Each structure stands twice: as structure tokens, then as C-alpha cells.
Structure 1
Amino acid sequence: MTLPEVDPKRLEAEWAADKDVLASLAANGDRAEIVRLVDVSFRGDEDALERLEDDAETLGFSFIEREEDEDGEISSFLGIEQSVEADAIRALTLKCLQIELLYDVEYDGWGCTAETGLKN
């Protein structure tokens, strides 16, 4: 599957937000090199999200869940096991922006828990 080109300005805007999240994780003692589940979310209509969910594995993700908010907007959450090192997150964001274009959905960001490497 060939993924489409992304507007560089859009990628840079997302990357600016990503750097804030990475800084917050680091401030909470996160060790970015630790592989963990990173979830990404996409908003869209039922058909577009269903196509994306059906193709999640092919794209390197697992389907986590679908949620509907109080306004009736539907989101699909996908997961991927990876580190949150800067280059890995930048590559993930690029891929998600490509998915956004390919599936006519709206990328809504990523999240994960901080991993300190310490046992709780």
C-alpha cells in the first residue's frame, strides 16, 4: 500500500504538539526508549472508520476500541507497540497523517503512559 504525501506544514504543526507531549512525559520520569503501547485516534464517519479498522493490522496497528462522544462524533483508537523516542514518534505522526489522507478520517493524536522502568 502506497501512503500519500503529507503537507510539510501540517507535519510540523503536529510535531510541535508532539514535542510538548514528549516533554511532559520526560518531566514525569519517562524513559522514551522503553517499548510500550501507544494509542492513536482518528475521527470520522462510520464507513471510513470501519475501513480503517479493517486495515489496522495491515498498517501495523491493532484495533483497541471505538467511542462515541456526547456530540455523536465517532472515534476509533488503534494501538502500536513502540518506543516514544523522538524519531519514532515523528515517524508515527507522519504515518497517521498519511492514514488520515488515505482513509478520509481526521487524525486526533497519540497517547501513552509514562514508563519509568521501575516496578510499581
Structure 2
Amino acid sequence: MTLPEVSPARLEEEWAADKDVLASLRENGDRPEIVRMVDVSFRGTEPALDRLEEDAEELGFEVIEREEDEEGEISLFLGREQTSDDDAIRALTLKCLQIELIYDVEYDGWGCTAEDGAE
């Protein structure tokens, strides 16, 4: 699958928000080199989310769940095992923005737990 070009301005807009989340993780003792589940979410129509769900594995993700909010808006949550270092998160964000363009869905961000290496 060929992934489309993403507007540099759009990527920088998302990266600015990502840096805030990364700073918060670090403040909570996160060790970014630790691999953990990072989830991403997309909003969209049922048909668009169905197509994305069908292709999730090919895109490197596993399906976590689908959720409907109070207004009836549907979100699809996907996840993959990875680190939370800056390069990995920036690459994840770029891929999600490419998915947004391919599937006509709205990327709604990523999240993960802070991992400090303690069991």
C-alpha cells in the first residue's frame, strides 16, 4: 500500500500536541525506550471505519475496540507495541495522518501509559 504525502503544516500541528503529551509522560517517570502498547483512535462513518478495521493488521496495528459516544459519533481504537521516544511517536503520527487521508477518517490522537521499568 502506497501511503500519501501529508501536509508538513498538518504534521507540525500534530507534533506540537504530541510534544506536550511526551513531556507529560516524562514528568511521570516514563522511560521512552521501553516498548509498550500505544493506542490511536480514529473517528468516522461506519463504512470508513469498517475498511480501516479490515486493513488494520496490514497497516501494523491490532484492533482494540470500537466505541460510540453520547452524540452517536463512532471511534475505532487501534494499537501497536512500540517505544514512546520522539522519533517513534513522530513516525506513528505521520502514519496516522496518512491513514486519515486514505480512509477518509479523522485521526484523534494517541495515548499510552508511562512506563518506568518497575514491575
TM-score range, shorter chain: over 0.9
Q: State the TM-score, normalizing by the size of structure 2.
A: 0.99
TM-score, length-scaled by structure 1: 0.99
1:79 aligns to 2:63 (yes or no): no
Q: Given the alignment of the two structures, is residue 70 of structure 1 paired with residue 70 of structure 2, yes or no?
A: yes
The answer for the alignment partner of 2:58 in structure 1 is 58
- Corresponding residue for 2:24? 24
Report the counterpart of residue 90 of structure 2 in structure 1. 90
Q: How many residues align?
A: 119
Secondary structure of the 2:54 match is helix
Secondary structure of the corresponding residue to residue 12 of structure 1:
helix
Deviation at 1:66, TM superposition (A): 0.1
- Secondary structure in structure 1 of the residue aligned to 2:34: coil
Q: What RMSD in Å do the two structures reach over aligned CA positions?
A: 0.3
Segments of structure 2 that go 5 or more residues without pairing to the other structure are none
Identity between Structure 1 and Structure 2 (%) = 79
Q: Which amino acid aligns with 1:55?
A: D
Segments ≥4 residues shifted beyond 6 Å: none
> In structure 2, what is the Cα distance between the partners aligned to 1:4 and 1:68?
28
Unaligned stretches of 5+ residues in structure 1: none
User: What letter is aligned with 1:11?
Assistant: L
